[in-house]
């Protein structure tokens, strides 16, 4: 019987600074044969032995050769320690875990991809998959909001996303520092929906960001005519195991780690103790 | 109802404990500090077969309070080494409710991911269960049909009779133990005495759920915003006793310890509780269950309804441990009651919401 708690070494091959607090790490398993099979939206448990372990979204496209990517914001003990690592350093890993975005049901459909802050991370692999397999999907509208312009992540890829046929990228920030050149919108991300051109009746929506943001995005999408069952959100919770054992991420009858983190809107609405709940 | 392979009679427990402990590392409930606790036992131990309501159920033997997942050595990369486990454990004198709780834990630690640490111990474990010929005043096992009589899932099952013990054999492992003892067969009178004693225990169990178990799901759904949750949560100490003492609670933390050399360390698992403030906390002190009322509701409804939805088995077996070990005893319906008592909480839910008073909280929300 294999031990699902056991970790494997993965080496950092590349680090890209996204913002002051956020970096994207390219990782490869040291064991040559081992590649990571995953669906965008799934997560890995990444740890530094002696410091701790935590769940992190896989942010690369499954089509990426040579490893996979994780985008991590410096916030607590573990992420601060990860922030100090360099290419060549080794982390320990187990995964992937959880549900991914329903990529297959998105084929042939128009897509809303709506993110707030570092919530773009679990969606970035999906966007890159769409760019590479452009013919498989309909029109795509990416709407992304962050607090400040310098907190936007994956900025180096925006040109490539925009250059792909029939993908639009709309940006907004809460506040623009004085003297900062900001050619895009200002305000909450739901404002961007008024620029939408796709037919809500034939669209799926994938949403990730702070819960309060997802609550209003999901409502706005419903008002526009997107069916509730076509809206998907990704939740964040504390996790120790990722395998429905430790109980940390439990939300009513659901485990965010195995029943999620990607849930349909009706599903998450029926669960207690989250801001998208019908009542909480 | 599984039929026992054989029914035997044993004059005293010593020879049985001796036979079991010959092959198994044997634990049982014994008197300790005015209460009972699960400890290592030997033939001289006075194993208590009554309804002990021990502070900790036997789960800490199958899922230790703290266990090493693996040790690690850091260097150029890292090596991990899992601890070996080759013991055989016997749980001697497990009450029917606790056997049912173990069956629930079995489902938690199975599923898509099989927990090897739990199952190494569980697979090794000989379950010597003991029917309860008396039921503690905190217990309400009859409401769930998790006691006082066990119908299956034991290796050996003891029932105390007037001057001896009935020993029923439920598995080959149990049979191996019994074979070595050369015990006489039980008579029809012995089996009738067992039935009469357990009927008497059932009849003497006064504490009962005020609704049928199948109706709990709808009750909690309908009364999720009942104002009594607020006044109950206000007198909860958020101490975690109800969960640590619960035989079906399984939540844990995983943490790393590293030696001063920073080259070696251990990753271990330790019991945790959803009632503690930090349980759902993430970076930047964001906390998904910061409010005490959310934690109180989570524990209560998970035990009484959600766990059934997740695993198909009740998360409450009516053992009465949370009732006994909760330190908060508010007055409800004119009586002093244990705050954590599921029977009282369900009775609270049945009160018309408009009749509940005293939920104004000038101090604000309690975390």
The chain B residue lying nearest A10, using CA atoms, is B77
How much is the ipTM here?
0.93
Compute the nearest-CA separation of B110 from chain A (Å).
Answer: 9
Which chain A residues touch B119 with a CB distance below 8 Å?
A: 1
In the block, tokens 């690592």 appear at A85
B296 touches chain A (CB under 8 A): no
B256 touches chain A (CB under 8 A): yes
Query: What does residue B161 show for φ and ψ, rounded to 5 degrees?
Result: -110, 180
Please give the pLDDT value at position A1: 52
Nearest Cα residue to A14 out of A75, A120, A87: A87
Cα gap A198→A204, rounded to integer Å: 10
DSSP string, A54-120: EEEEB-S-TT-SS-EEEEEE--SHHHHHHHT--TT-EEEEEEEESB---HHHHTTSEEEEEEEGGGG
Cα gap A280→A270, rounded to integer Å: 10
The chain B residue lying nearest A243, using CA atoms, is B113
Which chain B residues touch A50 with a CB distance below 8 Å?
A: 72, 74, 256-258, 262, 265
Rounded-to-10 torsion of CA A154, A160, A165, A167: 20
B32 touches chain A (CB under 8 A): no
Which chain A residues touch B283 with a CB distance below 8 Å?
A: 75-76, 79
The chain B residue lying nearest A274, using CA atoms, is B288
The chain A residue lying nearest B298, using CA atoms, is A252
Cα gap B115→B127, rounded to integer Å: 20
- CA-CA distances (angstroms) from residue B4 to B13, B164, B176? 19, 19, 14
If residue B274 lies in a helix (H) or strand (E), which one and from where to where? none
Asked if residues B219 and B211 have their Cβ atoms less than 8 Å apart, the reply is yes
The chain B residue lying nearest A78, using CA atoms, is B283
Asked if residues A114 and A207 have their Cβ atoms less than 8 Å apart, the reply is yes
Compute the nearest-CA separation of B251 from chain A (Å).
Answer: 5
Asked if residues B54 and B38 have their Cβ atoms less than 8 Å apart, the reply is yes
Cα gap B249→A271, rounded to integer Å: 21
A9/B78 Cβ within 8 A? yes
In the block, tokens 């080259």 appear at B263
Please give the pLDDT value at position B135: 94
Cα gap A241→B130, rounded to integer Å: 35
- CA-CA distances (angstroms) from residue B324 to B68, B262, B317? 31, 44, 14
Pick from A3, A49, A253: CB nearest B82: A3
In the block, tokens 């009706």 appear at A266
Stretches where chain B sits below pLDDT 50 are none
A4 touches chain B (CB under 8 A): yes
Which chain A residues touch B253 with a CB distance below 8 Å?
A: 240, 246
The chain B residue lying nearest A31, using CA atoms, is B77
Asked if residues A269 and A276 have their Cβ atoms less than 8 Å apart, the reply is yes
Q: Is B308 helix (H, G, I), strand (E, B) or coil?
A: helix
Please give the pLDDT value at position A33: 81
Output the CA torsion sign for B142, B147, B149, B153: positive
Compute the nearest-CA separation of A125 from chain B (Å).
Answer: 24
Pick from B224, B252, B256: CB nearest A246: B252
DSSP string, B118-184: HHHHHHH-EEEEE--SS--TT--HHHHT--SS--SS-SEEEEE-SSSEEEEE-SHHHHHHHHTTTPP
Q: Cα B334 to chain center, whole Å?
A: 30
Pick from A53, A241, A273: CB nearest B289: A273
Cα gap A153→A119, rounded to integer Å: 9
* Alpha carbons within 13 A on the beta-carbon side of B139: 27
What is chain A's pLDDT, residue by residue, as a tens digit (280 residues)? 589 999 999 999 999 999 999 999 999 999 878 889 999 999 999 999 999 999 999 999 999 988 999 999 999 999 999 999 999 999 999 999 999 999 999 999 999 999 999 999 999 999 999 999 999 999 999 999 999 999 999 999 999 999 999 999 999 999 999 999 999 999 999 999 999 999 999 999 999 999 999 999 999 999 999 999 999 999 999 999 999 999 999 999 999 999 999 999 999 999 999 999 986 4
Please give the pLDDT value at position B358: 55
A272/B274 Cβ within 8 A? no
Cα gap B332→B19, rounded to integer Å: 49
Cα gap B180→B169, rounded to integer Å: 13
Structure token pair of residue A14? 């590349």
Rounded to two decimals, the pTM is 0.94
Cα gap B46→B43, rounded to integer Å: 8
Please give the pLDDT value at position B364: 56
A88 touches chain B (CB under 8 A): no
Which chain A residues touch B70 with a CB distance below 8 Å?
A: 3, 5-6
Which chain A residues touch B74 with a CB distance below 8 Å?
A: 49-50
């Amino acid at each position: 019987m294999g031990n699902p708690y056991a970790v494997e070494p993965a080496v950092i091959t590349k680090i890209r600074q996204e913002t002051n607090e956020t970096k994207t790490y390219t990782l490869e398993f040291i064991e040559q044969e081992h590649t990571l099979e995953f669906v965008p939206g799934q997560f890995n448990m990444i740890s530094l032995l002696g410091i701790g372990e935590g769940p992190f979204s896989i942010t690369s496209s499954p089509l990426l050769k040579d490893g996979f990517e994780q985008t991590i914001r410096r916030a607590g003990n573990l992420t601060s320690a990860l922030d100090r690592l360099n290419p060549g350093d080794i982390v320990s890993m187990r995964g992937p875990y959880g549900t991914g975005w329903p990529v297959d049901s998105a084929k042939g459909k128009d897509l809303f991809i709506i993110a707030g802050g570092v919530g773009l991370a679990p969606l970035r692999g999906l966007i890159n998959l769409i760019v590479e397999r452009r013919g498989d999907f309909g029109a795509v509208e990416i709407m992304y909001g962050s607090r400040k312009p310098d907190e936007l992540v994956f900025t180096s890829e925006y040109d490539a996303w925009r250059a792909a046929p029939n993908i639009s990228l709309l940006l907004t920030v809460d506040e623009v520092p004085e003297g900062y050149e900001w050619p895009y919108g200002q305000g909450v991300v739901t404002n961007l929906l008024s620029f939408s051109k796709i037919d809500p009746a034939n669209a799926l929506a994938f949403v990730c960001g702070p819960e309060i943001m997802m609550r209003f995005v999901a409502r706005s999408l419903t008002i526009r005519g997107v069916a509730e069952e076509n809206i998907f959100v990704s939740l964040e919770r504390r996790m120790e195991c990722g395998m429905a054992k430790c109980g940390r991420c439990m939300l009513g009858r659901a485990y965010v780690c195995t029943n999620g983190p990607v849930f349909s809107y009706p599903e998450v609405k029926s669960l207690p103790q989250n801001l998208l709940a019908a009542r909480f | 109802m599984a039929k026992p392979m054989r029914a035997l009679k044993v004059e005293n427990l010593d020879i049985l404990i001796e036979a079991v402990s010959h092959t198994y590392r044997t634990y049982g409930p014994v008197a300790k500090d005015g209460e009972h606790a699960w400890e290592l036992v030997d033939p001289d131990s006075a194993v208590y077969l009554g309804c002990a309501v021990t502070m900790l159920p036997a789960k800490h033997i199958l899922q230790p309070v703290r266990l090493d997942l693996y040790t690690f050595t850091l260097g150029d990369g890292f090596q991990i080494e899992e601890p070996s486990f080759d013991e055989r454990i016997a749980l001697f004198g497990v009450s029917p409710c606790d056997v049912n709780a173990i069956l629930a834990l079995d489902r938690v630690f199975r599923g898509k991911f099989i927990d090897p640490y739990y199952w190494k111990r569980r697979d090794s474990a000989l379950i010597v269960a003991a029917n309860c010929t008396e039921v503690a005043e905190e217990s309400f096992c009859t409401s769930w049909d998790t006691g006082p009589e066990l119908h299956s899932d034991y290796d050996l099952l003891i029932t105390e009779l007037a001057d001896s013990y009935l020993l029923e054999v439920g598995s080959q492992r149990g049979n191996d133990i019994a074979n070595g003892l050369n015990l006489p067969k039980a008579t029809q009178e012995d089996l009738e005495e067992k039935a009469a004693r357990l009927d008497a225990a059932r009849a003497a169990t006064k504490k009962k759920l005020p609704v049928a178990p199948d109706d709990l799901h709808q009750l909690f759904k309908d009364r999720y915003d009942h104002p009594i949750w607020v006044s109950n949560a206000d007198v909860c100490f958020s101490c975690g006793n109800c969960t640590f003492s619960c035989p079906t609670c399984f939540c844990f933390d995983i943490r790393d310890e590293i030696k001063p050399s920073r080259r070696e360390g251990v990753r271990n698992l330790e019991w945790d509780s959803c009632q503690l403030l930090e349980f759902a906390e993430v970076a930047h002190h964001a906390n998904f269950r910061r409010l005490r009322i959310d934690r109180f509701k989570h524990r209560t409804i998970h035990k009484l309804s959600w766990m059934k939805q997740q695993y198909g088995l009740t998360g409450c077996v009516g053992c009465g441990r949370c009732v006994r070990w909760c330190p908060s005893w508010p007055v409800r319906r004119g009586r002093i009651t244990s705050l954590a008592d599921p029977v009282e909480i369900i009775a609270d839910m049945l009160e018309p919401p408009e009749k509940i008073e005293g939920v104004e909280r000038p101090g604000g929300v309690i975390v």
